[in-house]
Structure 1
Amino acid sequence: MGCAGSSQTKGDGNVKKIHKPKPWKHPQPITKSQLMQLRDEFWDTAPHYGGRKEIWDALRAAAEADLSLAQAIVDSAGVIIQNADLTVCYDERGAKYELPKYVLSEPTNLIQDA
């Protein structure tokens, strides 16, 4: 057994299931290649925002996976989900991880590359 606070328990009702972010719109129409460039820039610089690199790696893998795999990734990495769309998460040490919506889904005003 152990004390109640020693680990996350699935039955405590606080475990959030991941869902897709709500539809969002970029300030101006954006192409798929521009969106990919934004994502790459974010993931390249994300570890500099603080937190642990392995958690950032897990969050990237989750952001790029389907929902069921993403849920397994964050659960196994010990990520605590604040917002079910993964925009705000914490690690077990309390470090905060904020993900912009553009790394989690595509905008409604995505346009075709020329």
Structure 2
Amino acid sequence: MGCAGSSQTKGDGTLKKVRKPKPWKHPQPLTKSQLLQLREEFWDTAPHYGGRKEIWDALRAASEADISLAQAIVDSAGVIVQNADLTICYDERGAKYELPKYVLSEPTNLIRES
């Protein structure tokens, strides 16, 4: 029996399944190389936002994998998925991990380089 203010995060006992992010648009059109540069900059600095390096590494691997493999990666790393598109996750210690959409998928206004 818990106190009056306590609640369970998922009362039905199910875990959120990872899914592809919804289509999104970057504020300014990007080329593929600019998108890759943004991703590299994020992953290079991500551990400085807090949390554990091994969780950041698992989230990076999951973001670069197909959906079924991404699910296996977050499950085996003990990542708690708040948003099914992986934009907000937690580790077992309660540390929060926020991923920008540009590391998870391509924007709808991506410019194809010729």
Q: Distance in 2 between matches of 1:18 and 1:67?
A: 7
Q: Distance in 1 between matches of 2:79 and 2:110?
A: 30
- What's the counterpart of residue 56 of structure 2? 56
Q: Distance in 2 between matches of 1:94 and 1:17?
A: 19
Aligned-pair CA distance for 1:102: 0.2
Residue 12 of structure 1 pairs with residue 13 of structure 2: yes
Q: Distance in 1 between matches of 2:20 and 2:69?
A: 13
Give aligned-pair identity as a percent.
84
TM, length-normalised to structure 2: 0.88
5+ long unaligned stretches in structure 1: 1-10
- What's the counterpart of residue 103 of structure 1? 103
Q: For 1:1-114, what aligned pairs fall within 5 Å after superposition?
A: 12-13=13-14, 15-114=15-114
Aligned-pair CA distance for 1:28: 1.1
- What's the counterpart of residue 3 of structure 1? none
Aligned-pair CA distance for 1:112: 1.3
Following TM superposition, where does structure 1 have runs of at least 4 consecutive aligned residues deviating by more than 2 angstroms?
Answer: none
1:49 maps to amino acid: Y
5+ long unaligned stretches in structure 2: 1-11
